[in-house]
Amino acid sequence: MSILRIENCSISYDEDKYAVEQVSLDVEEGEIVSIVGESGSGKTTLIRGVMGLLPSGGQISGGKIWFKDRELTAMTEAELQAIRGKLMAMIFQDPGLSLDPVNRIESQYRESIRTHNKRLSRDTCRDMAKKMLKAMHLTDADRVLRSYPIELSGGMKQRVGIAMGMTARPLLLLADEPTSALDVTIQAQVVREMKELRDTYGTSIVLVTHNMGVASYLSDKIGVMNQGRLVEYGTRGEVIFHPKEAYTRSLLDAVPKLGGKRYGE
């Protein structure tokens, strides 16, 4: 069954220009879909539109978005809020920005869990947090929980962000460039850990990235956006090895080769 279905969706900030134009795509249960494209191609706008979190001035000007059998584009803000964070979570590019610098990780984590489960005890919240932090390979979870954000590295903060997003076991995780602020080695680890989370919990993931290498490693399907349009959409194998569009080929050609190979095959 589709977890996310986007049908002919257009999103605009100005009346006469579309940031996203007539995009349609399907994300199945447990599937990882990457949306690739250059800066300004509309990737962030598309996933913010799915979450109902467009910046002011942005609006869905056409089409429909479905989460399972419920139409998101017909929901009130209160209905969307009930879904956000619980069934559908979003992770942002800069892990530092979503954490409050003056509070320890544990209290922020607890607050995020209690948004949807008000009655859970401190101990229960702590156990839930520790379990998910360990799943993200933060082995010294106690120390992480005691820390302030400034005491953690960029990679650790991003793992905390992903763990927090995953604690409610959402069916869909939307991740906007979740690794691009990290250095290359840490990036590869975090990407691998996201894949493990999908394997463990069956979460569908939509990943926005400008990095075709990351998309190729992680995805079941890849969508390519150019100037607001989804110009290519298919399985990883189709898009990487048999791209239909010259634009996709140009993105593929830009991926650096490692040991004469680009995609580890």
Ligand X SMILES: Nc1ncnc2c1ncn2[C@@H]1O[C@H](COP(=O)(O)OP(=O)(O)OP(=O)(O)O)[C@@H](O)[C@H]1O
Q: Which residues bind ligand X (CB under 6 A)?
A: 13, 19, 37, 39-45, 55, 57-58, 210
Least distance between ligand X and beta carbon 178 (Å): 13
Q: CB 234: neighbour CB atoms within 10 A?
A: 16
The residue (of 55 and 260) whose beta carbon lies closer to ligand X is 55
The residue (of 45 and 167) whose beta carbon lies closer to ligand X is 45
Least distance between ligand X and beta carbon 94 (Å): 12
Least distance between ligand X and beta carbon 122 (Å): 38
Least distance between ligand X and beta carbon 221 (Å): 18
The residue (of 87 and 255) whose beta carbon lies closer to ligand X is 255
Least distance between ligand X and beta carbon 231 (Å): 13
The residue (of 24 and 147) whose beta carbon lies closer to ligand X is 24
The residue (of 37 and 165) whose beta carbon lies closer to ligand X is 37
Least distance between ligand X and beta carbon 6 (Å): 14
DSSP string, the chain: -EEEEEEEEEEEEETTEEEEEEEEEEEETT-EEEEE--TTSSHHHHHHHHHT-PPTT-EEEEEEEEETTEEGGG--HHHHHHHBTTTEEEE-S-TTTTS-TTS-HHHHHHHHHHTT-TT--HHHHHHHHHHHHHHTT---HHHHHHS-GGGS-HHHHHHHHHHHHHHT--SEEEEESTTTTS-HHHHHHHHHHHHHHHHHH--EEEEEES-HHHHHHH-SEEEEEETTEEEEEEEHHHHHHS--SHHHHHHHHTSPPBTTBSS--
The residue (of 44 and 187) whose beta carbon lies closer to ligand X is 44
